[in-house]
Amino acid sequence: MADAFRQEWGRITAALIHQTGDWDLAEECAQDAFAQALRRWPRDGVPNRPGAWLMTVARNAAIDRLRRSSTYRAKVEELAVMATRETGTDSREPDADDGAVPDERLRLIFTCCHPALAMEARVALTLRTLTGLSTAEIARAFLVPEATMAKRLVRAKHKIANARIPYRVPPADALPERMPGVLAVLYLVFNEGYSASAGENLIRRDLCDQAVALAQVLAELLPGEPEPKGLLALMLFQRSRQTARVNDRGDLVTLEDQDRARWDQVQISLARRHLEEALAARRPGQYQIQAAIAGCHAAAPTAQATDWPKIARLYQYLADLTGSPVIELNRAVAVAMADGPAAGLAILRRLEAGDALAGYYLLPATRADFLRRLGRNEEAASAYEEAAALAGTGPERRFLNARLAEVRSRGQQRG
Amino acid sequence: MRYMLIHAADPDLAANWDDEAQAAFADWIEETIRTRVNLQGARLRPTADATTVKIRDGELIITDGPFVETKEQVAGYDLLECASLDEAVRWAGRHPSSWVGAIEVRALPERAPAEPLPEPGEGKIQYLMLVCTDPAVDAREFDRIEPVDPWVADTDGRGIRLYGSELEPPDSARTVRVRDSRVIVTDGPFAETKEQIAGFDVLECADLDEAIEVARRHPMARLGVLEVRPFWPFEED
């Protein structure tokens, strides 16, 4: 029943927001419908079309509530007319044939992810309205108090109403500009879940699955767009490595050291299929390229077999597309693997000349790694120190300190 | 001569807006309208409902929030017709928003006549668009700034721009605060930030997307920052 819930929650909320324009009402009525399902289905059996059942009950709940507020009489009539049009009957019975309910989720996703909303508001609203996670669950997932998350959601809805953020899918010519914002939200949710350690709560780790589900919805509802498929492929390639990423002690295992037998080949095949479909549209984008890079890794049976020159070329493509210094850093890593660490250092020197990555621990960490591989142990040691000082979480810092110890002892060995 | 009163509310002083302030406000509006001093004005939704628009390296960047975070936050404006800055400052000193924040008084260049705003059309919403400077932009870029007239003509013509004007520079402003019944007038703008308001426009649009579309075409989108803030009609609370 849990999967049916996840799918249907978003569909129902989206439809009710569209029909009533009232976000809070939509949430409450979706909640009512699910509560009723939990009571009746174990007793009466799951209906043939659970989605239609839930939609009817939710809509009836909305009609009832609006009826009690006299100022919304016109809205009620509108709702009733819509119900009649869709079912072809006047019946309020949940089992009446409720035909095809239009999928309003696309409007909902684009509105929740509107650039005029702060990123954390977009994330909260997207999860609340599209996945059925409760406010408390979302708060736990993002490690903030429930009251904070509740306020965040209220603020977001107020801004939508007060600033009049339109409830719609952007017109075709605006889609290229608005799509990255939506994809960024989904990828952020995914990364929150992906980076959650084994000790963290289940809801937080579940964010990966929520993000994948949402990317799937987006890809389905926008079949002509390649980037949602690219993002989906990227997420699946990454998630396929989840069990190999962390060892039993909770330490991070680098890509080159991971036990590839633990990589989930089912997800990898699925990812590859989505990526091929995306690339067939011949409209490359940053998520498709990142997915292609992830695909290169997935294709290598061992770390040594990795096609680094191809990855380096893909990173060049990505760097040209995005102008992102982080991408350029990743390119340096790939170039170092393909052409040797000295080539990688040259790219780093250019990056370090600017200050775009100041304070970013991976910059000195990468330099340290190149220097280590070149046997320049003293320089490597000071770079590892610099990186460890900047590194945030436990596993990353432990890893860097281990490397630091390693190059120090090597240095001593050389006398 | 025309002057803009920029009301900047201090959230810490919000409790000072009591019934007396409310009554004083109603009186002020009534008196300034009756004496034909008040040409135009509006209350604005708070900064949480603001959106900033700018273009950098050809990329449109939309952000949630005001153009700069300050303690006192722009909450409304009035346009007054006065004989001098001193007179405008005296009027500001009698407006109760000076009890709960600051009122910045800034002159409009001579060429800007002002009128009361119409009610928004069916399905429309009005926004104040603040045209602001960005200290990160190289001052030399301004040598290449496009004229604003085509943008004005286009938006005026489509009924999107209801009114607008440049403002005299921030250092020509005077700011009024009333604390413990004392009127304190300081030279300069209400906030000592590098980012400052250079002008404003009043827009009437169907929704925020339309307002953003209009804002991004303003020449200052590339060289400054535009803040789009919805009006907050007194009938709505």
Q: State whether residue B77 is helix, strand or coil.
A: strand
pLDDT tier at A89, thresholds 50, 70, 90: very low
A contact test, residue of B43, B44, B49 with most A CBs within 10 A: B49
Assess contact for A97 and A87: CB atoms under 8 A: yes
Nearest Cα residue in chain A from B59: A177
Given a cut of 70, whether residue A239 has pLDDT beyond it is yes
- H-run or E-run covering A47: none
Q: φ and ψ at A316, to 5 degrees?
A: -60, -45
Domains belonging to chain B, first-starting first, are 2-230 (3.30.70.1060)
Nearest Cα residue in chain B from A161: B49
- Strands B224-230 and B59-64, sheet pairing: unpaired
Q: What is the pTM of this model?
A: 0.87
Measured between beta carbons, the chain A residues lying within 8 angstroms of B204 are none
Q: For residue A91, what pLDDT is reported?
A: 45
- H-run or E-run covering B216: helix B208-216
pLDDT tier at B204, thresholds 50, 70, 90: very high
Of B62, B63, B230, nearest to A162 by CB-CB distance is B230
Assess contact for A109 and A224: CB atoms under 8 A: no
pLDDT digits (tens, 9 = 90+) for B40-70: 999 999 999 999 999 998 999 999 999 999 9
Alpha carbons A265 and A13: distance in angstroms, whole number: 35
B contact test, residue of A71, A122, A162, A324 with most B CBs within 10 A: A162
Q: Which residues of chain A have a Cβ shorter than 8 Å from any chain B Cβ?
A: 114-118, 121, 155, 158-159, 162-166, 170, 174, 177
Nearest Cα residue in chain A from B206: A164
- H-run or E-run covering B159: none
Q: A325: closest CA among A348, A344, A296, A341?
A: A348
Which structure tokens are listed for B6?
A: 């920029």
Q: How many C-beta neighbours within 10 Å does residue A202 have?
A: 10
Q: For residue A90, what pLDDT is reported?
A: 44
Letter string b/e over residues B96-128, b meaning 16 or more CB atoms within 10 A of that residue's CB? bbbbbbbbbbbbbeeebebeebeeeeeebbbbb
Q: For residue A99, what pLDDT is reported?
A: 44
Alpha carbons A154 and A151: distance in angstroms, whole number: 5
E-only strand ranges, B57-180: 59-64, 73-81, 101-107, 125-133, 161-166, 174-179
Of A116, A164, A170, nearest to B64 by CB-CB distance is A116
Contact call for B64 and A118, based on CB within 8 A: yes
Query: How close B171 comes to chain A (CA, Å)?
Result: 31
Q: Give the total residue count for chain A.
A: 415
Of B51, B60, B63, nearest to A163 by CB-CB distance is B51
Flag whether the ipTM exceeds 0.90.
yes
Q: For residue B23, what pLDDT is reported?
A: 96
Which structure tokens are listed for B208?
A: 């925020």
Of A118, A121, A166, nearest to B208 by CB-CB distance is A166
Measured between beta carbons, the chain A residues lying within 8 angstroms of B45 are 162-163
Nearest Cα residue in chain B from A166: B207
DSSP, residue by residue, B20-50: HHHHHHHHHHHHHHHTT-EEEEEEB--GGG-
Nearest Cα residue in chain B from A169: B209
Given a cut of 80, whether residue B165 has pLDDT beyond it is yes
Assess contact for A40 and A95: CB atoms under 8 A: no
Contact call for B48 and A158, based on CB within 8 A: yes
Query: How close B182 comes to chain A (CA, Å)?
Result: 35
- H-run or E-run covering A92: none
Mean pLDDT of chain B: 95
Measured between beta carbons, the chain A residues lying within 8 angstroms of B42 are none
Q: How many C-beta neighbours within 10 Å does residue A189 have?
A: 26
Measured in whole angstroms, how far is the alpha carbon of residue B97 from the centre of its chain? Answer: 14
Contact call for A162 and B49, based on CB within 8 A: yes
If 0-12 CB within 10 Å is exposed, 13-18 middle and 19+ buried, where does residue A379 land? middle
Assess contact for A111 and A166: CB atoms under 8 A: yes
Q: State whether residue B160 is helix, strand or coil.
A: coil
Q: For residue B11, what pLDDT is reported?
A: 96
Of B49, B207, B212, nearest to A159 by CB-CB distance is B49
Alpha carbons B189 and B205: distance in angstroms, whole number: 29
Give the CA diameter of chain A: 90
Contact call for B60 and A116, based on CB within 8 A: no
Nearest Cα residue in chain A from B49: A159
**Residues paired with B130 in a beta bridge:** B200, B227
Q: φ and ψ at B159, to 5 degrees?
A: 70, 15
The amino acid that residue A28 corresponds to is E
Nearest Cα residue in chain B from A168: B209
- H-run or E-run covering B71: none
Of B60, B63, B208, nearest to A164 by CB-CB distance is B208
Which contacts of A318-325 are long-range, i.e. CB under 8 A and separated by 24 or more positions?
A: A318/A286, A318/A289, A318/A290, A318/A293, A321/A284, A321/A285, A321/A286, A321/A289, A322/A286, A325/A351, A325/A354, A325/A356, A325/A357
Q: For residue A70, what pLDDT is reported?
A: 61
Contact call for B208 and A174, based on CB within 8 A: no
Nearest Cα residue in chain B from A121: B64
Query: How close B53 comes to chain A (CA, Å)?
Result: 9
Query: How close B64 comes to chain A (CA, Å)?
Result: 5
| Alpha-carbon distances, residue A384 vs A327, A337, A357 (angstroms) | 21, 19, 16
Of A118, A155, A166, nearest to B209 by CB-CB distance is A166
Contact call for B230 and A164, based on CB within 8 A: yes
The amino acid that residue A166 corresponds to is P
Letter string b/e over residues B196-208, b meaning 16 or more CB atoms within 10 A of that residue's CB? bbbbbbbbbbebb
Contact call for A163 and B62, based on CB within 8 A: no
Which structure tokens are listed for B148?
A: 């604003």
Strand order across the B174-179 sheet: B38-43, B73-81, B2-9, B101-107, B174-179, B182-187
Query: How close B214 comes to chain A (CA, Å)?
Result: 14
pLDDT digits (tens, 9 = 90+) for B124-155: 999 999 999 999 988 888 888 889 999 999 99
Contact call for B64 and A164, based on CB within 8 A: no
The residues, any chain, with a CB within 8 Å of residue B232's CB and separated by 6 or more, are A162, B42, B43, B44, B45, B76
Query: How close B163 comes to chain A (CA, Å)?
Result: 19
A contact test, residue of B61, B64, B227 with most A CBs within 10 A: B64
Instruction: List % helix, strand, coil for chain A (3-state, nearest 5).
Output: 75, 0, 25
pLDDT digits (tens, 9 = 90+) for A19-76: 888 899 999 999 999 999 989 988 988 888 888 899 999 999 998 888 777 655 666 6
A35-49, B4-18, B32-46, B193-207, range with the lowest pLDDT? A35-49
